[in-house]
């Protein structure tokens, strides 16, 4: 009668799945397997407060040994999963005997895409606590920081570099890097944010090579220009940690492929959570994979429900939500933005110090929103995404919320 749920992955998705299982009254054994030796820790602060030194490493622990013991969650850390025998319900591990499972949860996350311009001391990626420690040690030596890639991680690390007093250059092949996420007009505001905070931006130019050594790199660009830097951070995205599933027979396609209940399409007792999971989002009518903290937490909750309620599983149809802290901007993104969507802008970054961009594909329905430094607008948008409110109505509401007498910021 006693069952075992094995969770592969000791980051936020894995830990929250275990905790939610207990909350749902699951009485079987729970084992969290982690490739890293470190106790489970939270990742968003690694490009912000931990990198800057404003917070202690102990503050990002997700699960202490005591909390694990109290919740009867077994931690098996320092053993990477190497494969699954689905028919035999066995999980294979590095340097450990295989584990039997009744339910398996794949939550192995994603890894930073490695530098294609060489990998040697002083050239960093940023994903794990170990990455963060190494990057911070180099940043504290001083000298310039070159960030290749102006996505969220690169932009946050660039902002942190400025708070440490470093000269920072951000390089991205797109003329308006954040247009990838927001569209050109809104994306433009983010480039200005960085320049206003002393970051040198070189956009629309790729990287040819990284020459030289730690302390005196020359980053050679495709336009012939060269950027000197003591340290280089490569922030060019992440790839799901799914290679270990190759021999399992499970369908893997840029993440493990799951149904609308987050069960592997070919093995109903195998589930997926977080960055590694590509599931059927019924409201979007597509298989999607999301690398956001809140998604991992909500998906963990859904999977825990579905493991404990096999006769009444819940479809997983979240409204996307992600945040990023860059300089003095708290950026929050709800739903889907960019793409083919038009936007209406409420507020002005210079005039009001805050703004919201509402996105719509048909001029009627709210498709998503990007909000900066404006908590009430964030709330209205998060509530709005789940309701019938149209984009015009929401715009009128936000314009009423906006201070009638703008105080000159900046």
Binding site for another protein (CB under 8 A): 16, 19-20, 23-24, 44, 293-294, 297-298, 301, 321, 323, 330, 332, 375-376, 378-379, 382-383, 386
Nearest-approach distance from CB 287 to another protein, in angstroms: 24
Alpha-carbon distance 263 to 277, whole Å? 10
- Pick from 275, 299, 293, 274: nearest CA to 44: 293
Q: Which is nearer to another protein, 56 or 192 (CB)?
A: 56
Rounded to the nearest whole angstrom, what is the least distance from the CB of residue 36 to another protein in the complex? 20
**Cβ closer to another protein: 228 or 294?**
294
**SS3 of residue 35 by DSSP:** coil
We find the least distance from the C-beta atom of residue 376 to another protein, in angstroms, to be 6
* Lookup result for tokens 């180099």: 138
Paired tokens of 313:
């599983």
Q: Are 292 and 321 in contact (CB under 8 A)?
A: yes
For the bound state, the minimum distance from the C-beta of residue 345 to another protein, rounded and expressed in Å, comes to 20
3-state secondary structure of 127: coil
Nearer to another protein, 236 or 297 (CB): 297
Smallest distance, Å, CB 264 to another protein? 24
Q: How far is the CB of 371 from another protein (least distance, A)?
A: 10
Kindly write down the DSSP assignment for every residue of 76-110, as one continuous string.
Answer: EES--EEEEETTTTEEEETTEEEEE-SEEEE---E
* Nearest CB to another protein, comparing residues 297 and 358: 297
CA 180 to chain centre: 15
Q: Which is nearer to another protein, 177 or 353 (CB)?
A: 353
Q: Please state the closest distance from residue 226 (CB atom) to another protein, in A.
A: 39
Those residues with Cβ within 8 angstroms of residue 132's Cβ, 6 or more apart along the chain or in another chain: 46, 47, 50, 51, 126
Q: Which is nearer to another protein, 28 or 249 (CB)?
A: 28
Nearest to 357 by CA among 387, 381, 323, 329: 381
Judged by beta carbon, residue 160 or residue 301, the one nearer another protein is 301
Which secondary structure element, helix H or strand E, spans residue 218, and what is its range?
A: strand 216-221
Q: For another protein, give the closer residue by CB, 43 or 124.
A: 43
Closest CA relative to residue 81, chosen from 36, 19, 24: 36
Transcribe 329-385 into DSSP letters: EEEEEEE--STT-EEEEES-TTTTS-EEEEEESSSSB--EEEEES-HHHHHHHHHHH
**Least distance from C-beta 366 to another protein, angstroms?**
15
Strand order in the sheet with 81-85: 81-85, 90-93, 96-100
Distance of CA 51 to the CA centre of its chain: 16
Between 35 and 105, name the residue whose CB sits nearer to another protein: 105
Name the minimum Å distance from CB 274 to another protein. 14
Q: Give the nearest distance from C-beta 297 to another protein in angstroms.
A: 5
User: Given the complex with another protein, which of 169 and 299 has the nearer CB atom?
Assistant: 299
CB of 269 to another protein, least distance (A): 23
Nearer to another protein, 263 or 305 (CB): 305
CB 47 within 8 A of CB 157: yes
CA 114/CA 100 separation, integer angstroms = 33
Measured in whole angstroms, how far is the alpha carbon of residue 291 from the centre of its chain? 4
Closest CA relative to residue 316, chosen from 17, 6, 85: 17
Report the 10 Å Cβ neighbour count for 257.
20
């Amino acid at each position: 009668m006693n069952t075992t749920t094995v969770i592969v992955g000791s980051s936020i998705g894995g830990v929250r799945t275990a905790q939610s299982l207990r909350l749902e009254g699951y009485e079987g054994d729970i084992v969290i397997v982690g490739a890293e030796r470190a106790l489970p820790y939270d990742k968003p602060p690694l490009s912000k407060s931990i990198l800057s030194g404003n917070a202690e490493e102990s503050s990002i622990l997700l699960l202490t040994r005591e909390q694990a013991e109290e919740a009867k969650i077994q931690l098996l850390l320092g053993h990477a999963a190497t494969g699954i025998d689905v028919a035999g319900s066995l999980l294979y591990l590095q340097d450990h005997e295989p584990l039997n499972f009744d339910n398996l949860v794949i939550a192995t996350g994603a890894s930073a895409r490695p530098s294609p311009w060489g990998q040697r001391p002083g050239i960093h990626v940023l994903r794990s606590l170990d990455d963060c420690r190494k990057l911070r040690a180099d940043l504290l030596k001083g000298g310039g920081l070159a960030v290749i890639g102006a996505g969220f991680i690169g932009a946050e690390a660039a902002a942190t570099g400025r708070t440490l007093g470093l000269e920072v250059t951000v390089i991205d092949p797109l003329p308006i890097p954040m247009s990838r996420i927001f569209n050109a007009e809104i994306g433009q505001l983010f480039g200005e944010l960085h320049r206003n905070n002393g970051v040198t931006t070189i956009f629309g130019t790729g990287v040819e090579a990284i020459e030289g050594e730690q302390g005196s790199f020359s980053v050679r660009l495709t336009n012939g220009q060269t950027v000197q830097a003591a340290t280089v951070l490569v922030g060019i995205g992440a790839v799901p940690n799914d290679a270990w599933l190759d021999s399992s027979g499970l369908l893997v396609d840029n993440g493990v492929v799951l149904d609308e209940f987050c069960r592997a399409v070919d093995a109903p007792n195998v589930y997926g959570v977080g960055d590694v999971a590509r599931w059927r989002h019924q409201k979007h009518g597509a298989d999607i994979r999301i690398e956001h903290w809140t998604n991992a937490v909500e998906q963990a909750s859904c999977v825990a429900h579905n493991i404990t309620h096999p006769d009444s599983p819940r479809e997983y149809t979240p409204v996307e939500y992600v945040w990023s802290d860059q300089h003095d901007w708290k950026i929050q993104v709800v739903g889907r933005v960019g793409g083919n969507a038009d936007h209406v802008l409420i507020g002005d970054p210079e005039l009001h110090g805050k703004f919201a961009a509402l996105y719509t594909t048909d001029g009627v329905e709210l498709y998503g929103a990007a909000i900066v430094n404006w908590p009430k607008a964030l709330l209205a948008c998060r509530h709005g995404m789940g309701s019938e409110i149209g984009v015009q109505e929401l715009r009128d509401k936000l314009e009423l919320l906006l201070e009638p007498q703008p105080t000159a910021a900046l």
